[in-house]
Structure 1
Amino acid sequence: MSQSEIRAGNPALNPLRLQERPLLWQVAAVAIGTLLLTLSSWIEVPMIPVPITMQTFAVTLVGALYGWRLGALTVVAWLGEAAAGMPVLAGGAGGLAPFAGPTAGYLFAFPVVAALVGWLVERGWNAERITLAFAAMLIGNGLCLAIGAVWLAGIVGFEKALALGVTPFIVGGVLKSALAAATLRLFPNGKAEPKQP
């Protein structure tokens, strides 16, 4: 893979290369991804107004493994399940209430985060460059906190939003970013295999 191909972005750098798979594979991947996102939501440390979960770990990993388009679509499908009332969010929550409460900003941020991380991975911020993979995950976590805090500030004010919706999550964000980057190393690098003559 040349540097120019990496700079231009190459979906073949997605470890799972799902864009090359049949539609049935992609549908199955979305279903598996929404299950992973649900399980990550149920790993929870209750806090008010925003609980600590493994959601950002799963969101960034889905983006990295699936690519920016399918990663974002998977997260949107999971949020659709939540909006339909399925208990897929933190604490087994579902329905429309979480999309109007203090955690709504983080929920709205998730598809953007998955897309951003997937986009970065397609440009070489992947397991072959573990420092860049970690940076991609960290940027995703930071973006989620920023968008979530902006929403939360509209409810409780800027200082409280920073104290309750950002500061307690910084160390966890760094650790989850490192875990996601390390998990990414378990998968093939995603380069297309040379075609046989």
Structure 2
Amino acid sequence: MSNVHAVRNPAFSPLNLSNRSAAMKLLAVVSGTMILALTSQITVPMLPVPITLQTLMVPLIGALYGWRLGALTVFAWLGQAAMGMPVLAGGSGSIASFVGPTAGYLFAFPALAALTGYLAERGWNGGSLPKAFAAFLMANALSLVVGAAWLSLSVGAEKAILFGVTPFIIGGVLKSALGAAILKASFRKDG
């Protein structure tokens, strides 16, 4: 019976948010949206899709917050953007962001947070650096696939891969390594 309980309450929880009050969870969501807004401003301008720190922070929030609260935080941040708050890359934010060339990447972000959170809760975390790295790589790959699929609707598949995937591969690998290293630094064994 204790093994079943251990699976439902994973050992990896650096912020221990699942055992915190509703007020603390709300503070985590607000803090997470602020972090996402700030790191979205760190960009390398490219057309049609800029390089940002979003693809590091979105899966990291998922891994640190857990899949549910991580995805909720990303949804809240995207909601802020939809309301016109300047929380996306380059200080943008409007409904137009969700129909433009970067919309596919934005639509993928809640799934990225949920994916890394889910995997972190199941051992793909700082306790296993290769698994943490793989979790971040999967999140980055998911972002590129969904983003390029959306982008291909306006520029065609070949250009979507050329401009929406290829320039981001090396950065995705580096961000995945950095994300895994951050998880390793935050890892603690409970019990």
So what's the TM-score if we normalise by structure 1?
0.92
Q: 1:115 to 1:61 in 2, by over 3 A?
A: same
Query: How far 1:173 sits from its partner (Å)?
Result: 0.2
The number of equivalent residue pairs is 190
Q: Structure 2 CA distance, aligned partners of 1:147 and 1:4?
A: 34
- Any idea what SS the aligned residue of 2:134 has? helix
2:30 aligned with 1:22, yes or no?
no
Q: 1:145 to 1:3 in 2, by over 3 A?
A: farther
Q: 1:22 to 1:48 in 2, by over 3 A?
A: same
| Aligned position for 1:149 | 148
Q: Which amino acid aligns with 1:119?
A: Y
Query: How far 1:5 sits from its partner (Å)?
Result: 6.8
Q: Structure 2 CA distance, aligned partners of 1:129 and 1:140?
A: 17
Unaligned segments of structure 2, at least 5 residues: none
Equivalent pair of 2:127/2:187 in contact (CA under 8 Å): no
Query: How far 1:14 sits from its partner (Å)?
Result: 2.4
Q: Structure 1 CA distance, aligned partners of 2:3 and 2:171?
A: 33
- Any idea what SS the aligned residue of 1:162 has? helix
Q: Percent identity?
A: 59
Q: 1:190 to 1:146 in 2, by over 3 A?
A: farther
2:100 aligned with 1:65, yes or no?
no
| Cα RMSD after superposing both structures | 1.7
Q: Structure 2 CA distance, aligned partners of 1:4 and 1:21?
A: 22
Unaligned segments of structure 1, at least 5 residues: none
- Any idea what SS the aligned residue of 2:160 has? helix
Q: Structure 2 CA distance, aligned partners of 1:83 and 1:12?
A: 36
Query: How far 1:46 sits from its partner (Å)?
Result: 0.4
Q: Structure 1 CA distance, aligned partners of 2:177 and 2:46?
A: 23
Q: 1:5 to 1:134 in 2, by over 3 A?
A: farther
Q: 1:57 to 1:3 in 2, by over 3 A?
A: farther
2:176 aligned with 1:177, yes or no?
yes
2:79 aligned with 1:80, yes or no?
yes
| Aligned position for 2:108 | 109
Query: How far 1:11 sits from its partner (Å)?
Result: 4.2
2:131 aligned with 1:123, yes or no?
no
Q: Which amino acid aligns with 2:52?
A: T
Q: 1:162 to 1:168 in 2, by over 3 A?
A: same
Q: Structure 1 CA distance, aligned partners of 2:140 and 2:3?
A: 26
So what's the TM-score if we normalise by structure 2?
0.94
1:101-152 alpha-carbon deviations (Å, 9 max, x no partner): 0000000000001000100001100101011001101110010000001100
Q: Structure 1 CA distance, aligned partners of 2:23 and 2:187?
A: 21
Q: 1:184 to 1:115 in 2, by over 3 A?
A: same
Q: Structure 2 CA distance, aligned partners of 1:37 and 1:3?
A: 36
Q: Structure 1 CA distance, aligned partners of 2:86 and 2:164?
A: 23
